[in-house]
Structure 1
Amino acid sequence: MPRYEFKEGSSNKFWEISLTGTSFTTRWGRIGTDGQEKTQSFSDTATAKKEYDKLVREKEKKGYELVGDGEGGDDEGDGEAGESASNPELEAAIFSNPENADAYLVYGDWLQRQGDPRGELIALQHAALQASGDEAINLKKQIAKHLKSFKDSLLGDLADAEDEEELKVEWHLGFIKSARVGQKDYDSDRNVAELVKELLAHPSARFLRGLTIGMAHFDDENDYSDVIEGLTEGLSEMGGSKTLQDLFIGDFEYPDDTEISWSHLHDISGLYKLLPNLRTLRLRGGSLELGTVNLPELRELTIETGGLPLSAVKSIAAATWPKLEKLEVWFGQDNYGGEGGVEDIQPLLDGKGLPNLKSLGLCNTEFTDDLCKVLPKAKLLAQLERLDLSKGIMSDEGARILAESAAAFAHLKHIDFTENTLTDEGERLVSKLCPSVSAGNQREFEEDYRYSAVGE
């Protein structure tokens, strides 16, 4: 039972409240006594919860502060790690619709009755979502205090990684909504693969929606093979994730943390069947293998590499993306493993398996001028709203070809030509292809030595 206390002057009072279905029980009195108890019943759970929240807010406005779960513990003492309560039926309701706040509230009521601090956190965070002004500020403070007081229970063995800033989490309605894991610096000896597995298995990450993986190894080339293996194993042990929608592998700064081609992603195809509801996938690094792509719910795919192998190029071209809306691919340099050309992405240009694509990025290529020759007649162009040809080796000749077919691009909302090798004349030629064109920040043109912007 959540316990609140008020200590000011001669006042030394407590107040407790416990919500159960369509009723709640309150107990109050002077600290050190048993106090008085009262139970109130309502017509439905929604009304009971509304009145419950109202009473809690009234007490908080009067200066009562949450101190524990009603069993006599204090702020720090109740934070010891323990087994998390679990109710498969109530969890199933959230899995079926992670956006349904009511499902969290019902689960939160049950968790509170089990003495699980996630229950009170759900109530506090839900109230904060509805509040404004001073009430919102007060609730934010209470949430921060609750997270600190029950840190061990809420994070367990993960607390150490958070303290060392190698795990960062965002809480939403009592659970971790998104997380970032990765080594902090060259002094780190954190096993990121094991940390990923621990996170996925943790009760607080039961409804994880977003996962970002930063540096896996500072002390050598940044190889993600063990991390992807750990991610695959962790997801397999939980039967796949029904809630994970956003995945980013390779959240590092290049060249400050490591070079993009010194990071190796390897084969990620084993993740597909374990992430049936994945909406966005972002991959940064080299040595990428995609295999046969099957991500029916994916909306956005971004691949940033200094050299994309031909096998990965063909995987992208052969994939069927029924709901994909944005595709951005960095092809890279031949010196760093970049392979393929226009003929290898022709299925993309023909729009095969891309009925909903609106934004296309064919970036960091060494065949940009060749793209300029085929884009005006590409079947896919008519359905696009945005086109990104940045970071390539586009010359004034490519700009001239596009300008001669300007009508084919007039419907686009935006085109990006930045970081190519255009002169002022080339920039002028493409500047009016559509209402919004980015053509600045060009690199120097050298006829015999041209390369895409990002390689090593």
Structure 2
Amino acid sequence: MPRYEFTEGSSSKFWEITLEGTTLTKRWGRIGTDGQEKVEEFDSKAEAKKAYDSQVREKEGKGYTLAKGEDSDGGEATAESAVNPDLEAAILANPDDEKGYLAYAEWLKGEGDPRAELILLQHSALNAPAATRKKVAKLIEDHANELLGESLTEAISDESLKLEWHLGYIREARLGQVDYDSTTDIADLLAELLAHPSARFLSRLTLGMASFDGENDYDEALTVLAKAKPAPPLRSLFIGDFEFPDETEISWTQVGDLKPLYKVYPRLQELRVRGGEIGFGKIDLPELRSFTVETGGLGQGSVKDIVKAKWPKLESLEIWFGQENYGASGGVKDLKPLLDAEGVPALRKLGLRNAEFTDELCAALSKSKILAQIEALDLSMGTMSDAGADTLAQNAKAFAHLKTLDVTQNFLTKAGQKTVANVAKSVASGNQREPYDEESRYAAVGE
């Protein structure tokens, strides 16, 4: 029970308050005495919480402050108390089934939880006009304290947190510092979000800038993700949603160790990582459909980790290799398991981008087993010369089934672009770069 005290002149008083469910208990009197006690009952937990907050503000307005060593627990948050594990389990088992949410709404009504109304409103807004969506926004604003709490609401206000709600719960979240004046600790904010009942069914998570001050380091945020209990049913995770080089260079960013996440988030269907210093380890994500790594320097070990992964459902794979000056190592020989189509039976879209060995890739792909199952091939941002374009043209039959081929941002001349123009059904070849000489071709992104 938080204890507040007021000492001024001859006055020496205390005031205590606690909230349990729909019951508000207060005790007050002179310091050193037992004082008096009063119990109030409310029709719902939401009403009780509102009264709790109002009375605390009133006492603080009169000069009462928390006693030394005391900690205000903020009362019993309605959202935290209104939890039904069985109904949650039904939603987690089939998160796309609206019936689970509607059943939860019926139970929440009896708890006096504003989330019940939010679920029903958002359900009616799925195919409804803008007027209903405005009601949803107003309900969230009016009940921000119950649905989010003070600090998450403040993070939304300063735009370090952006949310999308679905049937009463947070479906998507993006966290990130806004600019160089930001003081938000992204790891702490993430920990608070993941612990909140409103994020129980969080499906999509994006991490923007972790820090504008010094290196942009995601280590602490990854630790929070790995230790989340209970872990949300993430399907999509994007680490490194920043503009480069405007906000920070790719190679100035340290992503950290991804290995602990695999067991915690086995439902992941989309994983995108941007930055440097990435630890992959043995990748085991059986539900993954899309994997993208954007970096200026991918080491040989990381390349091997990626191509050895077993992804039975992976449909899209995009790898940026980067420049040797920024840590890139390895080459075509390290891609052999992938080129031999090992472990990726569902792969249809392949991006081998930002490489310093694109001409060699052209030759290797023309003889690879993986090419036959690919529908879209992206060899952009690399070092392809007219020699690479000639290789593609000479093996045109092998590439003819491709729906799209992207060779933009390489080093093709006009003649080279013409050579490759008809290799696939649709070829993108514009925005080429010009080398100083034959030895100065480089991958588009390094630092």
- TM-score surpassing 0.5? yes
Change (3 A) 1:93 1:72: closer
State the alpha-carbon separation in 1 of the partners of residues 383 and 49 from structure 2. 69
The answer (yes or no) to whether the contact 2:403–2:424 under 8 Å persists in 1 is yes
Correspondence for 1:401: 391
Q: By how many angstroms is 1:448 displaced?
A: 1.4
Correspondence for 1:356: 346
Taking the TM superposition and a 5 Å limit, the aligned residue runs for 1:211-230 are: 211-230=205-224
The answer (yes or no) to whether the contact 1:213–1:248 under 8 Å persists in 2 is yes
State the alpha-carbon separation in 2 of the partners of residues 169 and 316 from structure 1. 31
State the alpha-carbon separation in 1 of the partners of residues 48 and 152 from structure 2. 26
The answer (yes or no) to whether the contact 2:250–2:446 under 8 Å persists in 1 is yes
Q: By how many angstroms is 1:435 displaced?
A: 1.2
Please list the CA deviations of residues 96-137 of structure 1 after superposition, one character each: whole Å capped at 9, or x if unmatched: 000000110010111121011111100000011133xxxx23
| Match of residue 430, structure 1, among 393, 400, 420 | 420
* Residue 453 of structure 1 pairs with residue 439 of structure 2: no
State the alpha-carbon separation in 2 of the partners of residues 169 and 138 from structure 1. 20
The answer (yes or no) to whether the contact 1:287–1:309 under 8 Å persists in 2 is no
Deviates more, 1:438-447 or 1:205-214: 438-447
State the alpha-carbon separation in 2 of the partners of residues 301 and 409 from structure 1. 23
Q: By how many angstroms is 1:77 displaced?
A: 7.3
Q: By how many angstroms is 1:138 displaced?
A: 2.3
1:364 counterpart letter in structure 2: N
Deviates more, 1:280-289 or 1:154-163: 154-163
The answer (yes or no) to whether the contact 1:288–1:309 under 8 Å persists in 2 is no
* Residue 83 of structure 1 pairs with residue 78 of structure 2: yes
* Root mean square deviation of aligned Cα: 2.0
The answer (yes or no) to whether the contact 1:81–1:152 under 8 Å persists in 2 is no
State the alpha-carbon separation in 2 of the partners of residues 439 and 416 from structure 1. 6
* Residue 176 of structure 1 pairs with residue 170 of structure 2: yes
* Residue 208 of structure 1 pairs with residue 206 of structure 2: no
Please list the CA deviations of residues 176-202 of structure 1 after superposition, one character each: whole Å capped at 9, or x if unmatched: 000000111111111111111111110
Point out 4+ residue stretches in structure 1 off by more than 3 angstroms. 68-74, 76-81
1:148 counterpart letter in structure 2: E
| Match of residue 103, structure 1, among 55, 75, 100 | 100
Correspondence for 1:148: 141
Correspondence for 2:161: 167
Correspondence for 2:17: none
Change (3 A) 1:73 1:288: closer
State the alpha-carbon separation in 1 of the partners of residues 127 and 161 from structure 2. 28
1:301 counterpart letter in structure 2: F
Please list the CA deviations of residues 129-150 of structure 1 after superposition, one character each: whole Å capped at 9, or x if unmatched: 133xxxx232122111101100
State the alpha-carbon separation in 2 of the partners of residues 80 and 72 from structure 1. 7
2:114 counterpart letter in structure 1: P
Please list the CA deviations of residues 267-309 of structure 1 after superposition, one character each: whole Å capped at 9, or x if unmatched: 1111000001000000000111100000000000000000011
Please list the CA deviations of residues 346-394 of structure 1 after superposition, one character each: whole Å capped at 9, or x if unmatched: 1100000010000000000001011111111100000000000000000
Helix, strand or coil for the counterpart of 2:343? coil
Helix, strand or coil for the counterpart of 1:123? helix
* Residue 199 of structure 1 pairs with residue 193 of structure 2: yes
Q: By how many angstroms is 1:230 displaced?
A: 1.8
State the alpha-carbon separation in 2 of the partners of residues 145 and 333 from structure 1. 50
Correspondence for 2:40: none
1:227 counterpart letter in structure 2: A
- Which stretches in structure 2 are left out of the alignment for 5+ residues? 1-44, 56-73
Helix, strand or coil for the counterpart of 1:448? helix
| Match of residue 115, structure 1, among 112, 116, 126 | 112
The answer (yes or no) to whether the contact 1:80–1:152 under 8 Å persists in 2 is no
Correspondence for 1:333: 323
State the alpha-carbon separation in 2 of the partners of residues 345 and 182 from structure 1. 34
Please list the CA deviations of residues 178-229 of structure 1 after superposition, one character each: whole Å capped at 9, or x if unmatched: 0000111111111111111111110000000000000011010111111111
Helix, strand or coil for the counterpart of 1:264? strand
| Match of residue 131, structure 2, among 115, 118, 138 | 138
- Which stretches in structure 1 are left out of the alignment for 5+ residues? 1-67
Change (3 A) 1:114 1:196: same
1:340 counterpart letter in structure 2: G
Please list the CA deviations of residues 389-439 of structure 1 after superposition, one character each: whole Å capped at 9, or x if unmatched: 000000000100110010111101000000000000110011101111000
State the alpha-carbon separation in 1 of the partners of residues 50 and 337 from structure 2. 65
1:171 counterpart letter in structure 2: W
State the alpha-carbon separation in 2 of the partners of residues 393 and 73 from structure 1. 63
Q: By how many angstroms is 1:83 displaced?
A: 3.4
Correspondence for 1:270: 260
State the alpha-carbon separation in 1 of the partners of residues 445 and 263 from structure 2. 31
Taking the TM superposition and a 5 Å limit, the aligned residue runs for 1:359-438 are: 359-438=349-428
* Residue 260 of structure 1 pairs with residue 250 of structure 2: yes
Change (3 A) 1:402 1:325: same
TM-score, normalised to structure 2, is 0.82
State the alpha-carbon separation in 2 of the partners of residues 181 and 71 from structure 1. 31
2:112 counterpart letter in structure 1: G
1:179 counterpart letter in structure 2: A
1:277 counterpart letter in structure 2: R
State the alpha-carbon separation in 2 of the partners of residues 210 and 87 from structure 1. 23
2:302 counterpart letter in structure 1: A
State the alpha-carbon separation in 1 of the partners of residues 363 and 88 from structure 2. 54
State the alpha-carbon separation in 2 of the partners of residues 71 and 153 from structure 1. 11
Change (3 A) 1:432 1:152: same
State the alpha-carbon separation in 2 of the partners of residues 359 and 80 from structure 1. 52
Correspondence for 1:284: 274
